Amino acid sequence: MKILLTGVNGQVGSALKPLLMSLGTVQSPPREELDLADAPAVAAWVRRHRPHLIVNAAAYTAVDRAEQEQEAAFALNARLPEQLGRLQREWGGAVIHYSTDYVFDGTRDGAYTEGDETAPLGVYGRSKRAGEEGLMSSGAPALIFRTSWVYGLHG
């Protein structure tokens, strides 16, 4: 199986890479080779390599800075997941996408479930929710994981 892993140098991506390697060939091009905010470059790369699975761990994660850098946040968090889904739909590939609990407003007592209504409060949460919606509407088979407070050996 051919797997594209985005965000390999980040906290989630660096933890996933060794695990994904047991499933197939993992391609994780560095930013210099593939700028994920460059939609035509992403389309060309994905169409050339035709991965069976894309694991999208890339994200604009500077929550506070996103308020001033909305375009950058939406490029990676909203447009990229939708684009990856639409590209994968072309040949039946799938997408696993990492999102965030910031799609909720945080006012609920107790845990949220995937069926709960979203209500993001800031640009970061809105951009991540837009990415979820775009991926879900793309028509590609997809899984979306909403994470909270990620920690690990890297980062």
Which of the residues are catalytic? 124
Question: What CA–CA distance (Å, rounded) separates 73 from 32?
Answer: 19
Question: What is the token pair recorded at 111?
Answer: 């845990």
Q: What is the DSSP letter of 102?
A: G
Question: What is the token pair recorded at 153?
Answer: 């050996």
DSSP reduced 3-state for 82 = helix
Question: What CA–CA distance (Å, rounded) separates 38 from 32?
Answer: 12
Q: What is the DSSP letter of 71?
A: H
Which residue in 115, 101, 90 sits closest to 145, CA to CA?
101
The single-letter code of the amino acid at 44 is A
